[in-house]
Structure 1
Amino acid sequence: MAHYRAYLLDHDRHVISVANLQCADEQEARERAQQLVDANDIELWQLDRLIAVFEAAASRTSKTAGQGRPQRTPRPTDK
């Protein structure tokens, strides 16, 4: 089992909370992280490698309305 982290982000892209995921592979980690998306975006990481960003419906709506978001900053790792 591999260790992944799913970061729940607020509208300013700050980390609200983190979910530690033990998954058989990256595909399982992606599926589990996708399930965490609700009103906030989720970033899925394995150590210092960003795997995917899962956007909440509200963020996609604000982006299309021309309300760009700041660049994301690297998340801490558990090396």
Structure 2
Amino acid sequence: MLLQSERIAERRQTSEGDCAEAQASYYRAYVLNDDGQIVDFAQLYAIDDEDAKRQAKHLRDGFDIEVWQQNRKVALLKSA
């Protein structure tokens, strides 16, 4: 899981062999208790929504997780 305090850039090879740079975006993963209240959060830096959800899945540990990018709700990951 990628948790850092600053933006990262990832270099990828395209099918043509050219280098393309993808800028990671800032997300937050909120840990929710049984009442739906936020009890903790993690900062995530991800290339896209799917990457953010993949990272957040590792935080569940019996809790629901809401993944947000600024004011946009990306996903609700249920604990079970």
2:73 aligned residue: 50
Structure with the larger strand share: 2
Q: Give distance in 2, aligned partners of 1:26 and 1:53.
A: 12
Aligned length: 57
Q: Give distance in 2, aligned partners of 1:37 and 1:20.
A: 14
Q: Give distance in 1, aligned partners of 2:45 and 2:69.
A: 11
Question: Structure 1 stretches of 5 or more lacking a match?
Answer: 58-79
- Secondary structure of the structure 2 residue equivalent to 1:36: coil
Q: Does residue 1:37 correspond to 2:60, yes or no? A: yes
Q: CA RMSD in A?
A: 0.8
Structure with the larger helix share: 1
Q: Give distance in 1, aligned partners of 2:45 and 2:53.
A: 12
Question: Structure 2 stretches of 5 or more lacking a match?
Answer: 1-23
Q: Give distance in 2, aligned partners of 1:36 and 1:54.
A: 10
Question: Structure 1: which 4+ aligned runs deviate by more than 3 Å?
Answer: none
Q: Does residue 1:18 correspond to 2:63, yes or no? A: no
Alignment TM-score, normalising by the size of structure 2? 0.67
Q: Give distance in 2, aligned partners of 1:56 and 1:23.
A: 21
Q: Deviations over 1:40-72 (max 9, x none)?
A: 100000011111001112xxxxxxxxxxxxxxx
1:72 aligned residue: none
Give the greater-gyration-radius structure (CA): 2
1:27 aligned residue: 50
Q: Give distance in 1, aligned partners of 2:47 and 2:70.
A: 16
